[in-house]
Structure 1
Amino acid sequence: MNFVFDLDGTICFQGNPVSSNILNCLHSLEQDVIFASARPIRDMLPVLHKRFHTYTLIGGNGSLIYKNRKSVHAHTFTNEQLGIIFKLIHRHQATFLIDSDWDYAYTGPVDHPIVKNVDRGNLAQKLTVNQLTQVVKILIVIMNDYTALLKELEVLDVTIHKHHNEQIIDISPRGIDKWSALKKLGIAENNYIAFGNDANDITMFKHAAHSVMIGNHKELAYYADEKIDCEEQVIINKIRTLAKGDSIF
């Protein structure tokens, strides 16, 4: 049985690296561990100790796969899709964070909370959109009308993750999510245990043998088999209990 962990809000918090206590717990597991995040790979690496950089990482909500310190898959937008999205961005005077498989373009405020998690390891380059060779994920940071832009994006052939509280729109190519990446890795339905905390974990929860929601999220709660508090020791205890396989299977 595989274990699949989201990062932010699930096992790492407030932009800080995953704690040594949680990492030691994960390192002790006999089961395979996979990390699956909305972050691109370059932003996942700084919150994981180097001994975990050989683990399988799913980034960009499923658009990127990284194994044994190498990129093995990147699912990109088509030029036609990008043209339509950029027209909408311009019409709504939106600012954005756009990721390629490694580098990025950012036009939002320098003091926006999202900036603190972008390329903290200084592993990439900040480029213009035209300099990016491919685009795997688009995050609309600020726009003049969140509801109107969201409505126009939702009719496009793309996957959208909505963050209503932050008024942020997260866009990926159609059919790309954490479950699609797990399938690409050969992970079968009902053959993994998932830990997550947000709407972008829904597809991962739907196909898991067991799913654990950290904290509370109204949309995700419907698909969670159980909910636990966002406390380090509680999370560690739950991982250890499920690893023993004597509580749910």
Structure 2
Amino acid sequence: MATKMQHQLLFFDIDGTLLSNATHQIPESALSAIAAAQKNGHLVFINTGRTIRTMPSFLKTLGFDGYLCGCGTRIVYHDEILLAHSFTEEEGQLLIDLMDKWHIEAFLEGSEDVYCKRGAYRQRIMNQVRKSFNDKGLGLSCFIEDRNFIYDKFVLVSDNQADSDAFIHEIESFIDVIDRGKGMYECIPKGFSKASAMHLLAEHLDISMDNTWAFGDSSNDLPMFEAAAHGIAMGEHSPVLEPFSEMITDTVDNHGIAKALLHFGLI
């Protein structure tokens, strides 16, 4: 159990962990608990698959000590950028060529914007997600066909016209692919993950990984749970997290974060 004499590093996923899937807000109990943890000398970080650009902007006003974004491709500690990794121009172009070859529909996520097809996607869900990006001012600057941008990671959703197996086979030498279920795959440069970012940050701060805590709910949180000394799964969570969970707390809306921080003496 942590004590106030030890600085602990607390890492939080966003959707389904910090943010309620029902209200899309952070419960007041979680905000108060996180602030109390910081007052006790602990450092709190968002650790998300979202790029820094697609992270909800209001999160940056809430006093977190930093952000680990894009599945470990960008690390920000206070105002210092510790890591910023993107695909090379050559890698980015090759990936787009392979997407065309295997009829893959994807969103390409960069630190400046999200890049979508110019025209309509085949899949309704892709058009719905694109609209949600557009409503936030994202995905409007240029399009995948323009090929004049740099990106950090991408998400694809497969359908019966796409050969996702063939595509993944061609990219797996330099891309780590996370199966998010229902035909959705999150694709990150090989060697980068929520875990790699945690290790780099802990080394930078000279704090042992024994003092790390992961809070999450979904399958892309698995590397974070494997790396952390302590894993706390939310009340609604992917079963893959359970072998690495020290506690299954309550749901976001039922004050799961506050209950876990109190249980372990972090507040």
TM range (shorter): 0.7 to 0.9
Matched with 1:209 is 229
Residue 206 of structure 1 aligns to a residue in which SS? helix
The 10-residue stretch of structure 1 (147-156 or 195-204) with the greater mean CA deviation from structure 2: 147-156
How far 1:42 sits from its partner (Å)?
2.1
Residue 244 of structure 2 aligns to a residue in which SS? coil
The 10-residue stretch of structure 1 (227-236 or 34-43) with the greater mean CA deviation from structure 2: 227-236
Report the structure number with the largest CA radius of gyration: 2
Residue 244 of structure 1 aligns to a residue in which SS? coil
Matched with 2:69 is 59
Cα deviation code 1:197-233 (max 9, x no counterpart): 1222122111212101112312222222222332432
Residue of structure 2 aligned with 1:160, choices 154, 168, 177: 177
- In 1: Cα distance, 2:11 partner to 2:76 partner: 14
Matched with 1:43 is 54
How far 1:241 sits from its partner (Å)?
2.0
Cα deviation code 1:132-170 (max 9, x no counterpart): 1x22111113442465246425632111111123x1111
- Unpaired stretches in structure 2, ≥5 consecutive residues: 1-7
The 10-residue stretch of structure 1 (89-98 or 215-224) with the greater mean CA deviation from structure 2: 215-224
Residue of structure 2 aligned with 1:118, choices 129, 133, 153: 133
The 10-residue stretch of structure 1 (182-191 or 35-44) with the greater mean CA deviation from structure 2: 182-191
C-alpha RMSD of the superposition: 2.7
The 10-residue stretch of structure 1 (214-223 or 150-159) with the greater mean CA deviation from structure 2: 150-159
Residue 32 of structure 2 aligns to a residue in which SS? helix
Change (3 A) 1:178 1:117: farther
Residue of structure 2 aligned with 1:27, choices 25, 35, 39: 35
Matched with 1:239 is 261
1:117-136 equivalences in 2 (<5 Å): 118=133, 122=137, 126-129=141-144, 130-132=147-149, 134-136=150-152
How far 1:119 sits from its partner (Å)?
7.0
Larger RCO: Structure 1 or Structure 2 (Cα < 8 Å, ≥ 6 residues apart)? 2
Q: Is 1:16 aligned to 2:24, yes or no?
A: yes
Letter of the structure 2 residue corresponding to residue 104 of structure 1:
V
Cα deviation code 1:168-216 (max 9, x no counterpart): 1111111000111122223542221111112221221112121011123
How far 1:66 sits from its partner (Å)?
2.3
Paired residue total:
242
- In 2: Cα distance, 1:220 partner to 1:115 partner: 29
TM-score, normalised relative to structure 1: 0.83
TM-score, normalised relative to structure 2: 0.78
- In 2: Cα distance, 1:146 partner to 1:229 partner: 39
Asked if structure 2 preserves the Cα contact closer than 8 Å seen for 1:46 and 1:120, the reply is: no
- Percent of matched pairs sharing the same residue: 19
Residue 241 of structure 2 aligns to a residue in which SS? helix
Asked if structure 2 preserves the Cα contact closer than 8 Å seen for 1:17 and 1:48, the reply is: no
Asked if structure 2 preserves the Cα contact closer than 8 Å seen for 1:228 and 1:235, the reply is: yes
1:141-220 equivalences in 2 (<5 Å): 141-143=157-159, 144-145=161-162, 147-149=164-166, 151-153=168-170, 155-165=172-182, 167-187=183-203, 188-214=208-234, 215-220=236-241
